[in-house]
Structure 1
Amino acid sequence: MQFGIFTVGDIVPDPTTGRAPTEYERIKGFVEMALKAEEVGLDVFAMGEHHNRPFVPSSPTTILGYIAARTSEILLSTSTTLITTNDPVKIAEDYAMLQHLADGRVDLILGRGNTGPVYPWFGKDIRDGIALAVENYALLRQLWREDVVDWQGKFRTPLQAFTSTPRPLDDVPPFVWHGSIRSPEIAEQAAYYGDGFFHNNVLLPIEHTRQMIDLYRTRFEHYGHGPADQAIVGLGGHVFMRRRSQDAIAEFRPYFDSSPAYGSGPSLEETMQYTPLVVGSPQEVIDTTLRFREHFGDYQRQLFNVDGMGLPLKAVLEQIDFLGEEVVPVLRKEFAVVRPAHIPDAPTHESLKAARA
Structure 2
Amino acid sequence: MPVTVVRLNLVDPDATPRSLSERYRAALEMAAFADERGISTLQTEEHHGSPDNWLPAPLPFAGTLLGATRRITVTLSALIAPLYDPLRLAEDLAVLDLASGGRLITVAGIGYRPEEYAAQDKDWKRRGVLQDEALETLLAAWTGEPFDYRGRTVRITPRPYTRPHPPLLVGGSSQAAARRAARLGLPFFPSAHLPELEAYYHARRAEYGTEGWCLMPPAATPLLHLSEDPDRAWARYGTHLLYEARRYASWQQGTVRSAVRSRAEDVTALRREGVYRIVTPEECVAYAAEGGEMASLVLHPLCGGMPVEEGWRSLRLFAERVLPRLKD
TM-score, normalised on structure 1?
Answer: 0.73
1:278 counterpart SS class: strand
- The reply to whether residue 140 of structure 1 matches residue 138 of structure 2 is yes
- The reply on whether 1:169 has 2:161 as its aligned counterpart is yes
Partner of 2:275: 276
Identical residues among aligned pairs (%): 20
Change (3 A) 1:185 1:252: farther
Q: 1:244 to 1:101 in 2, by over 3 A?
A: same
Three-state SS of the structure 1 residue aligned to 2:6 is strand
1:125-136 alignment, distance < 5 Å: 125-136=123-134
Q: Deviations over 1:224-282 (max 9, x none)?
A: 48999x63335654112211332332233222344442798424454455553222223
- Counterpart of 2:215? 232
Q: In structure 2, do the counterparts of structure 1 residues 223 and 330 end up closer, same or farther at CA, with 3 Å as the change threshold?
A: farther
Secondary structure at the aligned position of 1:76 is classed as strand
CA contact (8 A) 1:178 1:197 kept: yes
Structure 1 distance, partners of 2:12, 2:57, is: 15
1:251 aligns with 2:233: no
Query: Structure 2 residue aligned with 1:220, among 202, 209, 217?
Result: 202
In structure 1, give the amino acid aligned to 2:29: E
| Structure 2: distance between partners of 1:322 and 1:62 | 29
Report the equivalent of 1:186.
177
Give the alignment's TM-score, normalised by structure 2: 0.78
Please tell me whether the aligned partners of residues 256 and 263 of structure 1 are also in contact (alpha carbons under 8 angstroms). Answer: no
* Aligned equivalents of 2:28, 2:100: Cα separation in 1: 15
Q: State the Cα distance separating 1:102 from its structure 2 match.
A: 1.0
SS at match of 2:5: strand
CA offset digits 1:313-353 (Å, max 9, x no partner): 122222222333333455566xxxxxxxxxxxxxxxxxxxx
Distance (Å, rounded) in 1 between the aligned partners of 2:226 and 2:80: 31
Aligned counterparts of 2:197 and 2:30: Cα–Cα separation in 1: 34
**Partner SS, residue 5 of structure 1:** strand
Cα distance in 2 between the residues matched to 1:245 and 1:106: 34
Structure 1, unaligned stretches of length 5 or more?
152-157, 201-208, 334-357
CA contact (8 A) 2:44 2:76 kept: yes
Shift of 1:175: 0.9
Partner residue, 2:259? none
Q: Once the 2 structures are TM-superposed, how far is the Cα of residue 87 of structure 1 from its aligned partner?
A: 1.6
Q: What's the C-alpha RMSD, in Å, of the aligned pairs?
A: 3.4
Q: How many residues align?
A: 308
Q: Give the structure 1 partner of residue 39 of structure 2.
A: 42
Where 1:79 maps in the other structure, the secondary structure is: strand
In the alignment, the residues of structure 1 paired with residue 60 and residue 6 of structure 2 have an alpha-carbon distance, to the nearest angstrom, of: 18
Specify the alignment match of 1:79 in structure 2.
77
The alpha-carbon deviation at position 56 of structure 1 amounts to: 5.1
Instruction: Check whether the contact 2:288–2:296 (CA below 8 A) recurs between aligned residues.
Output: no
**CA offsets 1:278-335 (integer angstroms, 9 cap, x no match):** 2222333344455567xxxx759654433231101122222222333333455566xx
Equivalent of 2:301 in 299, 303, 306: 306
Q: In structure 2, do the counterparts of structure 1 residues 13 and 30 end up closer, same or farther at CA, with 3 Å as the change threshold?
A: same
Alignment match, 2:27:
30
